[in-house]
């Protein structure tokens, strides 16, 4: 029977980066490290719970943080956390085998959010919003149980831009994804170290290292999602403007409050 957790002090054995991908991987590490330093995402003594869904982005996040952990001038620990939401067909065997190969501390949690989501959401409607809220609450609870003071999520630059446009087009607000977010009760800190890394780079990393990908059979089977349309819009624009993502990443860190209409913002800000 496979253990739920491994020794926290076990040496992590990362997969070797192929020679033809090393330059691109160096750029990924640079962008991640720069964001971590700029926003003070990781501090000495942190215990970070990395939420690993089994998708390419969370796999990449775990690998990158483990690599940075070995090189960083500070000490912090990592625990990988995967949530079995009781979706039909979910099988974490390959993921657990991968954790064992890495020698990383891990926990496989179980909560039946699948039944809640499918019961509450009308047929034809999107599951993502409710599923995300339920999962986030579980992550907060589990981080506290495991003694982790920070939760790391694998959102990347494309996720942030998609969220910005989703909020602009459908929610009547200007909001993307912050690198660091403190929960409403002040007890949990969520960090997103990959927000300066573009999705195509993470996809290439996943391919290069052959991560054991576990697809989401809940969301990925729903067609016509708003986010999918926004994603397609961005892809179309990137094909016309190769610097679009570079410009978008810069814009999310270059806000001009005086040029917006929110009365709560200072009229004197530039």
Query: Which residue ranges make up each domain of the chain?
Result: 19-255
The fold adopted by the segment(s) 19-255 is Rossmann fold (3.40.50)
Q: CA of 124: how far to CAs of 53, 99, 138, 162, 195, in Å? A: 24, 36, 26, 22, 31
pLDDT of residue 51: 97
pLDDT in tens, 109-157: 988 777 766 666 656 555 566 567 778 888 999 999 999 999 999 999 9
pLDDT in tens, 1-45: 233 444 344 468 999 999 999 999 999 999 999 999 999 999 999
pLDDT in tens, 179-189: 999 988 888 89
Looking at the chain, the whole-number percentage of residues with pLDDT higher than 70 is 84
Q: Which of 15, 81, 71, 74 is nearest to 48 (CA)?
A: 81
**CB atoms near residue 195 (< 10 Å):** 26
pLDDT of residue 187: 81
């Amino acid at each position: 029977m496979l253990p739920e957790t491994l020794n926290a002090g076990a040496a992590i054995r990362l997969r070797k980066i192929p020679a033809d991908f090393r330059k691109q991987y160096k750029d990924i590490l640079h962008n991640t490290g720069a964001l971590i330093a700029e926003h003070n995402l990781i501090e000495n003594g942190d215990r970070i719970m990395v939420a690993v869904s089994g998708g390419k982005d969370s796999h990449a996040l775990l690998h990158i943080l483990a690599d940075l952990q070995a090189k960083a001038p500070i000490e912090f620990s990592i625990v990988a956390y995967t949530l079995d939401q009781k979706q039909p067909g979910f099988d974490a065997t390959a993921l657990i085998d991968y954790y064992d190969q890495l020698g990383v501390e891990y926990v496989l949690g179980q909560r039946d959010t699948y039944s809640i989501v499918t019961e509450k959401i009308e047929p034809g409607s999107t599951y993502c919003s409710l599923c995300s809220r339920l999962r986030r609450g579980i992550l907060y609870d589990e981080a506290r149980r495991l003694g982790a003071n920070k939760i790391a999520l694998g959102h990347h630059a494309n996720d942030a831009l998609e969220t910005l446009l989703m909020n602009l087009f459908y929610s009547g607000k200007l909001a993307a994804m912050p690198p660091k977010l403190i929960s409403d009760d002040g007890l949990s800190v969520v960090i997103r170290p990959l927000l300066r890394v573009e999705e195509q780079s993470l996809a290439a990393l996943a391919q290069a290292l052959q991560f054991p990908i576990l697809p989401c059979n809940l969301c990925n089977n729903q067609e016509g999602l708003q986010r999918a349309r926004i994603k397609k819009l961005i892809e179309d624009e990137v094909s016309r403007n190769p610097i679009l993502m570079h410009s978008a990443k810069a814009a999310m860190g270059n806000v001009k409050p005086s040029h917006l209409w929110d009365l709560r913002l200072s009229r004197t800000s530039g």
